[in-house]
Amino acid sequence: MDDEKPPARLQIVWVYPKGKGAGLEPTPPEQWASTKELKEQLASKNPEARANAIEQLVERLVDGAQNDVLEALGDLDSSVRTRALYAAQEIGLDLPPSRLSEVAISDQSSFARFLALDAVGGNREYQWVVERALNDPDKYVQAKAKEILERQKWADEARHPPPPPQTQQELQQQQSGAANQPVGIGV
C-alpha cells in the first residue's frame, strides 16, 4: 500500500431531486473547505494541494493571508511559490519589499523572480534589485527589469521635464543683453 496517500473516506454526499442532477457540477474542495482545513492543506505533501490552498486563502483572507504567503515563498516547490506570489499580486496583497527583493534575486524559479521583480519594481528604495535583474539568466526577467527602469525614467521626466528649448529670438536677446552689460575689473 502507498504510504503517501491516506485511506479513502467519504467526504461529501450530494442529495438532489430525482432527474435534476445532470446540470450539477461538483465544487472543488478548496471552495467549500473551511479556512482551518485550507491552512492544514498548506502542510500537505502534495505541492498541488499546497498551491491550491494558498490561492484560496489569499482570495478569502486578503491581508490576513500575508503570513501564509510569506511562508509559501519558502516552499520547496516552485509552483507553490509562484502561485502564492501571483495570487497575492492579483488581489493587491502588500508583501514586504525586502522579502520580495530576496525572491527577485535568488529564487530558482525564473517565474517567481519575474513576479517578485514586478512587485518590488515600483519601490525606488529597491531600484538596485531592478538593476541587478538586468543581468538575470532569464531573458524575460531581464526584459521586465528594462521595462521597470524605462517606466521610472519616464516618471522622472514627467515630474521634472527639461526646460523648453529657447527660441532664436530669446538667444539673441540674451547675447545682446550680455554685450551691453558693463564688465568690471576687480582689484
> Whole-model pTM?
0.66
Output the CA–CA distances (angstroms, integers) from residue 126 to 66, 111, 178, in the order listed: 20, 19, 46
The residues of the chain scoring below 50 in pLDDT are 1, 187
Q: What's the confidence (pLDDT) of residue 153?
A: 84
Q: What's the confidence (pLDDT) of residue 109?
A: 97
Q: What's the confidence (pLDDT) of residue 162?
A: 62
Q: What's the confidence (pLDDT) of residue 159?
A: 72
| CA-only gyration radius of the chain, Å | 29
For residue 5, which phi and psi values (nearest 5 degrees)? Answer: -105, 135
Q: b/e string for 14-47 if b means 16 or more Cβ within 10 A?
A: eeeeeeeeeeeeeeebbeebeeeebbebbeeeeb
